[in-house]
Amino acid sequence: MKTSFYLFFLVLVIFLAACSPSIQTSTEPAENFRLSDYQTFDFFKVDASGGGLGPGYRTQVSYIQDEIARQLEQRGLRRSSTDPDLLVNLGIVVRDTVQTRETDIRTDPPRYVGQRRYTWKTREVVVRRYKEGSISVHLVDNDRNELVWRGTAEGVLEERTPKIQEQISEGMQELFSQIQQ
């Protein structure tokens, strides 16, 4: 009895871990880049393009900038709009994704509709719709106008705003933890 309980608990934990959206990050520093060589930072002006931007777009971009500023300030930099050492460039992509499955004669059998000449064909059935997001963060040396660090965080986006903000915080924290001091 105990063994089956532990087995059930293990399967439940694995299932819940698999269902939680994960954030994948990748970074690429320039040769000899050290964040401690810089004292100040600021953001490039945000230039949004695309007709499908929702009403919360500016709010979310502002939240991303605040979170990046918090991460850089924790690492000893301060935000300055007058001649900063580093400029932060953001690239944000959000795409609607549809997960589908193909029908199968074993699981989706044909139904008799009164004619003997019916056929059955496989087709795609929508399982769920969700949004995938990707944030690219580029740190540019302002004096040399040269990219010194690049990081990307991507994952499936949460639907509710508080959860998205939590996901942004988690993603930026994970992304900036990979930066070399």
What pLDDT digit, counting tens, does each position of 117-136 carry?
A: 666 678 888 989 988 889 99
Q: For the beta carbon of residue 148, count every other beta carbon within 10 angstroms.
A: 19
What is the mean predicted confidence (pLDDT) over 39-48? 84
| 3 state SS of 61 | helix
Please check whether residue 175 is in contact with residue 153, taking contact to mean a CB–CB distance below 8 angstroms: yes
Spell 156-171 as b/e; 16+ CB within 10 A means b.
ebbeeeeebbebbbbb
- Indicate the pTM of the whole model: 0.73
Query: With pLDDT > 70 as the criterion, what percentage of the chain qualifies?
Result: 76
Q: Is 149 exposed, middle or buried (0-12, 13-18, 19+ CB in 10 A)?
A: buried
Closest CA to 165 of 47, 53, 59: 59
What is the mean predicted confidence (pLDDT) over 147-159? 89
Tokens 């609607």 identify what position? 96
